[in-house]
Structure formats: structure tokens, C-alpha cells
Structure 1
Amino acid sequence: MAAQLFIGAKVFTGASEGEFATAFRIVDGLVDWVGSQEEVAGEEALDLGGRTVVPGLIDSHTHPAVIAGTAPAVECFPPAVASPDELVAVLRAHADQAQGEWILGRGFDDTKFPGARMPTATDLDRVSTDRPVLVWRCDAHSAVCNSRALEIAGITAATPDPDGARFERDPDGRPTGVLTELAAVQAVAAFIPAPTRDEQIDALVAIGDELTSRGIVAVCDLLSTRVDDPLHTFRAAADRGMRTQVALYPGWDPQHPLADLRPGDREGRIRVAGVKVVLDGAYSNRTAWVHEPYPGSCDHGLSLVPDGEVRAAAAWARRNGVQLALHAMGDRALDRVLELFGDEEPWLEGVPSVRIEHATIVSDEYLDRLRAARMSFGIATHTVFFFAEYDGYRTALRAEQVPDAYPIARLYAGLEPLALSSDRPATAWSGADDVMLSVEAAVRRRTYNGVDFGPAAAISPAQALLLYTGRARLLSPLEGVGMLRPGFEGSFVVLDRDVFTVPSDEIAGVRAAETWIRGERVYTAAR
């Protein structure tokens, strides 16, 4: 029996805001005991030198499969890219190294560009006119491509818009290269050769290494169908060394119905945990589905999936004993969730049957309705969104909505299954899965450019950490993570500074010094 005793630490157990210890023991990869080091004086132990320890972190909404499926794409996130010219420059520099015909990028945020100007095919034709170019917007719901990509996809002035999406056009009706919402993007992206399965597996292993460097030991992949045969591909990555525990949520596609799960698909460290349906778009590009039109317009955003398909996805989830995850940002989309499922009987125990992803606008009244519903609901939301994408939210939200936008304190007090998450790479910031960036945003409620955003919704560092640990574990069927208590995995992070006592404007600078998974040190920061 392999036993390891750790002493000399400030151990945040993840069980509550105020539960700390100074020592813990791991036996055969599981926590065997947690308490005071005075209780184990004289025993052989690894002294952590007074450093702060937190449970291994959970990113409850992220997209490793999207990153692996678009591995050749160059990152174009803010703050490095802040204009169409800088976007063109990054893509040009990438073109010489890009393998294959396509030149790909991801992550630009046009709301940070001068005049909030969306780049077009004319801009990307400066990168190349011979090779197709496509770059995803930061929300991953929209993109822009060059003229060659439009030609390959056969998109002309006569091409009708896809359902729930748009090919943006100039005053003469000609496509501008701007692809708004998923179906429009897919009309072009379908022509991009997919990475080979080996390339996808290697990309997932590299992503796992990056996650451990941030102290993240478990994730929920909320669009796992962006790689081939996701369950087996992720399990192959685990065989090659990826240590991250992964809950997979394939996307619902009525054109390619999901097969029912087989024995073992819902078991193990890599498992199918649910199915995802995208109900609406995003606030940062005004495609979230809203009751009142966006300021200065008559636009109510986009409803992307008919009710019948949403119910079909729910029936699949119920039949297969997994969660239904619903992307809903706008207040109209959130109301639709309750209209469709509020009176339905839950089908899962221990975790919510229905997860709401993002949940941008949550009033007291809406939270009361969630709690009163027959269905069991949980929420995965964000603080990195308003931190990074303030420019878009500033113009998309009406003034009276701001107090209800990402109201983390209200949600923390009113809904147990709750998590903060990154949504990487669909977030307008480089390194969006830096947990401490989200924690600081939750504590300070301040944007990247120093604007206070709903300060009444601020929470404490301990509360924010719980939304990546002990509270996050209540949202998803991930096993043995989120707390340092007997019976849980011996997975934890040693921090380089004490996140609970550093000045609030230095929280984002706190780093993982070491990451341990099941009693094995898998990452040590360079000194």
C-alpha cells in the first residue's frame, strides 16, 4: 500500500469556504486522511513549506476537442491582436508555417478593433488570394473568410442563408466573408481537411499538459464531437499520457443522430456525460436570443434550434442516463429552457439532469423559478466573459440588465450545482483557462480595461475557488475530484502564493507551482 503524508501546508479542502487543514495523507492515489499536522508529528512526510494547497481544479465548460480539431489554427486573441491590420499580420506570419492549403486562425474580437469594425474577405485577401483563409471570432459562433474560401464553399450572392445563421452581405447583396452563427461557419469549415486521428490524439495530450500546468485536473468538454470518434480518441490520448479526467458532451446534430451509448461508455476517467444543444448565439456579437431588441436596433438575436430537436436531444439524454447541456445566453433563451423542461421529471440523481451553459442574464425572479421547478437544474457560467469582452457587452446590454449580468453572488447563494469555467477557446482572451484570472474577476468585478462591472455581484476568493472545486463537482458526473477529503482522489495543486491573502489585484498572478494527480506529481513549474 503506497502511502504519502504531506505536512506544512495551508490546505483548502474544498468542502466549504472556511475549511482548512495543515496536513493530509494519500494512499494508493486516494485521500486517506486530512487534519492537523500535530496529529502526525514524528511521521515521515513531505513538508510543503507553508505553501497553499487547493484541490485539483475543475474546468466545467471548455473545448479541448475544438482545439484539437483545429490544431493548425494560429491564436489571434486579445490583447495581442487589436486591429484588422494586426490580424492580417498574424495570419501572414502563420501562413509560411501552416501545413496544407488552408490558413486558419481563431480568437479575434472585433469589438476591440478601431471603430469595432468586423474584418471582411477584403482584409483577409491581403493574407492570400490563392489559398483559403478562415479565422474564427472569439465566441466561436462566427468567423470571417477570404474570397478564395467563399469560392471553394460555393457561396455567392444567390446562396440562401442557412437556418439560424447568416452570410453577411454588402449593399449589393454580395457575401462579405463574415459568417454569423454556426451553420454559416460550417458551410465553409466543412471544406477544411480534418487533422488525422494521430494528430488529434497528440493535440489532446499537449492540451492535457497545458491543463496540468494551470492546476486543472478534470474538465467537461462541451462539444466533444469536434474530433473523430471522441470517446475512443480521448481514451487513446489517455493511453499516450493525458492525465486529465474528461466528461464528454457530444453536440446534438439532427443530420447525424447520436447512437445510444454502449456498456462502459459512461464509466472511467474518460466518459460520455451528456449531450449539448446550442439554443442561441452570443451577446458579444448580438446573436444571443433576447426579449427586448438590442440597444439601437430592432434585432432580437437568433434562436438556433427548433423545440422538437431540443426535446429529441432531451429524450436521448434521458434514455441514456446522461445530462442535457443547453447553451442559453439571452433572457429569451433562458426562459425557453424553463418553458421546455421546468415541469419535467428529472432523470438523474446526484447531479442536475439539465445544465444551463453561460446563463448571462439571471434575475432574482428567474433564479426563484429555477429553484421552484420540478426539473433539477445547474449552471456553468463565467467571469472571464465580462472581463475580456466588456466592449461587446457594453453595447449589447441595456443599462437595467447589468445588475443581472453574470450575477455570481446571487447564483452562489441560490443554486448549489454551480461552476465557473473558461469556455476556451470561445473566449476573447489569451489563456482564458487561467483559473486565477477568473477568480480575480469574480472578486474584483473589474474588466480588462479597469471598468467596474456589477460590483454587487462580487464574491470572495474562497467562494470563487469553490466554484472550481467543491461546488463545481456538484454540477457534473466527474468522480473523486473537487475536494481533499477521505475517499476523494489525491489530486491537488500547490500554489506559488496564497490566493486567499494576496492583494485582490494580484490574484491573477498566482500560479500552480506543482500539480498532483492521484498522488503523482505531474507538473512542476520551472524556477
Structure 2
Amino acid sequence: MAKHPAGFRRRGFIAIVGGKTKPGQYLMLRFASLVCALFTSSLFTNSVSAAPVVLSDIKGYGFDNQRQLQPFSVLVFDDASGKVLARGDAALLTQYPQATKLSGRGKTVLPGLIDGHGHILGLGQYLAVAELRGSDSEQDAVSRVAQFAKANKDAPWIIGRGWNQVLWPDKQFPTTALLDEAISDKPVYLKRIDAHAGWANSKALALAGITRETIDPAGGEIIRDSQGNPTGVLIDNAMTLVEQHIPEPDENDTLRALNVAFAHLLALGITSVHDAGVDTSTVKLFQQLAAAQKLPLRIYPMLSARDPQLPQWLAAGIIDDPTDYLDIRSVKIYGDGALGSRGAALIEPYSDQPAQKGLLVTQPDQLTQIMQLTIDAGFQTNVHAIGDLANRLVLDRFEQLVPAAKRASSRHRIEHAQIVSPKDIPRFAKLQVLPAMQAVHATSDKNMAGDRLGVARLRGAYAWRSFVDQGSIIVGGSDFPVELANAFHGIHASVTRQDHNNQPEGGWLPEQKLSLTEALRSFTVDAAYGAFQETSMGTLAPGSWADFILVDRDIYQIPAEQLWQVEVEQTYVNGKQVFAK
């Protein structure tokens, strides 16, 4: 990849230490900031550089320049430059007689995991709000909110996230009624698990001025009862009506949230994140942390198309950091909503609600305009598209706006590519558009996708095998905090098409399964490819960054149904240990 003038340079970093995670749970790292302040400098600042380092007694798996799996038992890296020097077998031990020797004690070593679609600040903030993930009824969700409010009596707003009405007995959207019974003296606002719907109490609706006379905004919907009164649920762009009244966190709040998220991700073995839709204030915080050598993992931020300062970013041009801690060269555009809230834009109506076809969050003319702007600026254009209509509209515009000679080098992406008309899937390969997909969405959505779409449309839904077989490179991710930030959950879902209870038997739409190597690639070298970084990370090939993890079991020697249970024991970035269990 050609290097552009960098906005800053980094030589080293300061680590953030995380804790242990358990399958199916988020890690509440209450003392992450304190740990960073007390122990970071003592861990690395005073250490004596010992380059090179030989790590032996390991079962290593990496990739070569052709993305083929390469096992190894010895890894040699330079902890001064942060680069891999060599990998191979025991013969390497004699080639570096002066090296520092480390024993992996038989553990499995993998490239550092890359999450190709997550939300770092959202994750940090999520860990500090009412947790509604897994609530099994509206009453259960309200009880959790009431407990959170009791424990946070000074909070001016009660904020939560994670509810999913599809998991409730009646599968219906909630209303203000139970929320109002539990909390009526302060506003409550709870985001759905996919962040494409919000649930408010009457106090919050009143503060936002939402009444039966309020008009639905373009790309949004106020759910109403049979009399036309707002029920408390807002879809997509209608969420802004309430969200604009929630007090903004200050910079210290944001930094605390970022630190908690960093620690959480490192504990999961995630060494790089493609941050999907970041505003100027957050990007500038990333830049400040990088300049102060306080970014503990690599970030590939997608500038939000909604940010008023986007034109200035585009005019300034690509920022290509030589150390790959903060490469800024992509834009996230929002096409439609999500399937669970019936906001995904479909060509034909929803099977379980024939009056609806979903929502275009960005209207077609505006979509063309912003895509043209980013493409002309030479930035990678990454468009959120879940429904088949949204995917078709985006593909149409890539075909119109990107010259054929520039398609391969541009690496434009569709984020999610979740429900695609079967006749549109080959267009990804023809137009050389990358599908950035999240495997866990399939196993999370399997209980409702058939209801929403009907059997016929499932042929183009969550179609990983179809994409891989035609040569498309899948950028793997989790979409945290919509899903848990654990890449092994995504690898497991890719291989088995099952949930953690091994259901359904044989897998859901099993013809779309990936092999373990294909799944691992999607979270390593293929995700790196989606950020123009495949020569510097995701492979553990000589010359790449020494970003790697040690895990508690050999993923190639265990039953596939156990893949989600793999735990990270150590995480290294730039040849430095940044997490140990």
C-alpha cells in the first residue's frame, strides 16, 4: 500500500490492562481507568527492550501472502520495531542465539483478531447503562431498568440498551405503560439491541414534545396505537426526536468510556477495530490518544457521513499512519434500518407485515450525492445496507459512480450485506465491492428472519458461502455492542450456523457454512484487506506487525461446537503484552 503523509507518528504505546471474560457476558471493567493510571507505566515504560524475542513451544497458525493457512511452532519478533522477523519450526532457535526466549507452554497462537465492524465508544457507553440483553419479557426488561434506576439515583436520565421484543412471548413492541409504572419522575430511554429503535417512557416523550400530532420524520417512524397516540417506540430517524434531549457526555466521560472499551476488547484478543461511523469529536480524541502514545490497539475509523465536518475531512485527504494505529481513509454512510425493527428496506413487503417495506434512512438522491462526494475524494465508501432494496440501491450507485478501472483499488464496502437478492450477489464480485458481514447476526436473527422475509428471500440472506464461492472477500465483524464483542462467537457461527445450544440441528441454512480457515481469515487477514492493511497485519508473516494472541485450546483440534468457548489468555500488540488473564 502506498504511504501518504501521516498526520502523526507513533513509536510504541501505553497498554491498557483488561480482565477475564465469560462466554455470553459483557465484562464490566469498573476499574479500567484506575488500572491504566496505576500500572501502565510500570509495565512497559521502564522495561528494557530485548529485541529479538523468540516465542517457542506453541501451536501457531498464520497466513501467507496468498491467504493460505501456515502452521508454525516458533515465532520470532522484534519488540523494538514491533515487527515479526520469522516463523517456522525449532530450527529457528539456533538462528537467534542472543534472543530473549519465551515459552508458550503449548498454547495456540493466532494473529490478533480484527473486528471489521464495531462501535468502540458505543461499547464503552453500553457497559455503563442498564443491560437489557437477554431479557425474556417486557416485564423483565422493565424490572432491570427499575433496578438500574435505584442504583443510579443521581442520573438525570435512565439509559439502557439491548431489548429485543422478538425474544418475548408475544413478540410485540413494548409501550410506555409498564415503564411509566416503574419510573415516572425522570425520563427513560432504552435502545433496542440493534440500535435501530428506541423505547421511551411518557416523561421522555413529553420532553421531546412527541404527541399524536407529531409528524414522522423522513426515514423514521413513531409507533402509534389504534387511536394514533405514540406508544413509546421510535424507529430509526424518529429516535433523534428523543436523543437530541439527552445530555451530551463531556470529554472526560468519553475518555473513560473509550478506556473501558479498549480494555474489554484487548481481553477478547481484538487488536484492531474498524469503527463504523465516528464523529469528529471522537476521531480527534483518537488522534490525541495516538499522539500521546496511549492507543493500545489499532483503529480504522469510518468517518460518519452525518458529521457536519465531513467535507473538511475529505478535503484534507487520506491520513495513512505508518504504524497503522490510526489510518483514516473511509466514510460510513447509512442506507436503511434493521430487520428486527422492520426498518431494513425491502423490495417487496415484509411477510409478517404486508403494509411495510422498511425505511431508507438516507433518501436515494442524498445517497447518490454523499457517495459521489466520498468516492471523488478518494476515500473508501462503506454503506450500511441490510435489506435487499438497500443493497440494490447501493450496488447501482457503485456501478454508476466508480469507474471500472478503479473498482479493485477502491475496495468500497457494503456493511452488513445481510439480505441480498440472489441475482444481486454476483454484482458484488463484478463491481469488486466487499461484503462486510457479521456472522453472529445470522444466529441471532434465525428465529425471526423467516417470519420477516418468508422462505424464498432467505436464499439471499446471510449468504456467506455464496459470497466466498464467487471470490468475494468477507470482512468479518461482530457489530458490537449490538452483539457481544467476541470474535470466537462469530467464528463459531460461521462454521456451525448454530447458537450456543447447538441449535438448530445441522445449522440454520447450513448450505451457507464456512470452513474454519475461511472463518478465521474473515477476522484476520481478510478484515485487514478491507482496511488496505493485509500486508501489515492479520497474517503473522515476516514483516507484519507482531499482533497476536495465545488462546486456551487448539481451534483446529476441538469440536466445532466448542469454538465459541475459546478464551484468550494473552494479547500482544506491536510485540508487547497488553493483556494477560
Provide the secondary structure at the position in 2 that maps to 1:201: helix
Alignment length, in residue pairs?
514
> How far, CA to CA, are the matches of 1:59 and 1:351 in structure 2?
22
Change (3 A) 1:497 1:351: farther
* Displacement after TM superposition at 1:2 (Å): 1.9
Q: Which is further off, 272-281 or 16-25?
A: 16-25
> How far, CA to CA, are the matches of 1:265 and 1:232 in structure 2?
13
**Aligned counterpart, 1:465:** 520
> How far, CA to CA, are the matches of 2:342 and 2:273 in structure 1?
28
Provide the secondary structure at the position in 2 that maps to 1:101: coil
> How far, CA to CA, are the matches of 1:391 and 1:142 in structure 2?
19
> How far, CA to CA, are the matches of 1:237 and 1:74 in structure 2?
28
Question: 1:358 and 2:429 equivalent?
Answer: no
* Displacement after TM superposition at 1:168 (Å): 0.8
Provide the secondary structure at the position in 1 that maps to 2:419: coil
Which of 440, 447, 453 matches 2:499? Answer: 447
* Displacement after TM superposition at 1:363 (Å): 5.5
Provide Cα deviations, 1:470-511, integer angstroms capped at 9, x if missing partner. Answer: 111111134722110111100101110011111111111111
> How far, CA to CA, are the matches of 1:299 and 1:258 in structure 2?
35
Change (3 A) 1:209 1:350: farther
Provide Cα deviations, 1:241-293, integer angstroms capped at 9, x if missing partner. Answer: 44111111122128775423436744351232311111111112222111121
**Aligned counterpart, 1:371:** 429
Superposed counterparts of 1:384-463, under 5 Å: 384-427=440-483, 432-447=484-499, 450-451=503-504, 452-463=507-518
* Displacement after TM superposition at 1:378 (Å): 0.7
**Aligned counterpart, 2:76:** 25
* Displacement after TM superposition at 1:141 (Å): 0.8
* Displacement after TM superposition at 1:381 (Å): 0.4
Question: 1:281 and 2:332 equivalent?
Answer: no
Change (3 A) 1:347 1:113: farther
> How far, CA to CA, are the matches of 2:274 and 2:370 in structure 1?
18
Match of 1:31, as an amino acid? V
Question: 1:323 and 2:376 equivalent?
Answer: no
Which of 363, 369, 373 matches 1:312? Answer: 369
Which of 240, 246, 263 matches 1:192? Answer: 246
TM-score normalised by structure 2 residue count: 0.84
* Displacement after TM superposition at 1:364 (Å): 5.2
> How far, CA to CA, are the matches of 2:175 and 2:289 in structure 1?
37
Moved over 6 A (4+): 346-350
Question: 1:248 and 2:301 equivalent?
Answer: yes
> How far, CA to CA, are the matches of 1:505 and 1:186 in structure 2?
41
Superposed counterparts of 1:213-224, under 5 Å: 213-224=267-278
8 Å Cα contact 2:196-2:343 kept in structure 1: no
Question: 1:521 and 2:572 equivalent?
Answer: no
Provide Cα deviations, 1:304-352, integer angstroms capped at 9, x if missing partner. Answer: 2123322332233234432111111111111111211214226968754
Provide the secondary structure at the position in 2 that maps to 1:222: strand
**Aligned counterpart, 1:34:** 87
Provide the secondary structure at the position in 1 that maps to 2:578: strand
8 Å Cα contact 1:492-1:517 kept in structure 2: yes
Change (3 A) 1:280 1:286: same
**Aligned counterpart, 1:342:** 399
Superposed counterparts of 1:62-211, under 5 Å: 62-68=118-124, 72-78=128-134, 81-98=135-152, 99-181=154-236, 183-211=237-265
> How far, CA to CA, are the matches of 1:514 and 1:333 in structure 2?
40
> How far, CA to CA, are the matches of 1:446 and 1:116 in structure 2?
22
Question: 1:2 and 2:89 equivalent?
Answer: no
Change (3 A) 1:404 1:308: closer
Q: Which is further off, 310-319 or 159-168?
A: 310-319
Provide Cα deviations, 1:349-372, integer angstroms capped at 9, x if missing partner. Answer: 875442101111245532322222
8 Å Cα contact 1:231-1:272 kept in structure 2: no
> How far, CA to CA, are the matches of 1:244 and 1:36 in structure 2?
29
> How far, CA to CA, are the matches of 2:374 and 2:405 in structure 1?
9
Provide Cα deviations, 1:426-481, integer angstroms capped at 9, x if missing partner. Answer: 23xxxx11111111111111135612311111122221111101111111134722
Match of 2:123, as an amino acid? I
> How far, CA to CA, are the matches of 1:82 and 1:46 in structure 2?
47
Provide Cα deviations, 1:171-224, integer angstroms capped at 9, x if missing partner. Answer: 11111110011x111110111111111110121111111111111000011121
Provide the secondary structure at the position in 1 that maps to 2:331: strand
Change (3 A) 1:362 1:174: closer
> How far, CA to CA, are the matches of 1:425 and 1:269 in structure 2?
22
Question: 1:229 and 2:285 equivalent?
Answer: no
8 Å Cα contact 2:189-2:199 kept in structure 1: yes
Provide the secondary structure at the position in 2 that maps to 1:271: coil
Change (3 A) 1:126 1:346: farther
Match of 2:180, as an amino acid? D
* Displacement after TM superposition at 1:240 (Å): 7.3
Query: Structure 2: any 5+ residue segments left out of the alignment?
Result: 1-49
Q: Which is further off, 170-179 or 380-389?
A: 380-389
Provide the secondary structure at the position in 1 that maps to 2:340: helix
> How far, CA to CA, are the matches of 1:255 and 1:199 in structure 2?
22
* Displacement after TM superposition at 1:385 (Å): 0.7
Provide Cα deviations, 1:72-121, integer angstroms capped at 9, x if missing partner. Answer: 4222112xx11111111111111133353100001111100111122111
> How far, CA to CA, are the matches of 2:218 and 2:137 in structure 1?
30
Provide the secondary structure at the position in 2 that maps to 1:471: helix
Query: Structure 1: any 5+ residue segments left out of the alignment?
Result: none
Provide Cα deviations, 1:146-191, integer angstroms capped at 9, x if missing partner. Answer: 000000001111110010111111111111110011x111110111
Change (3 A) 1:75 1:242: farther
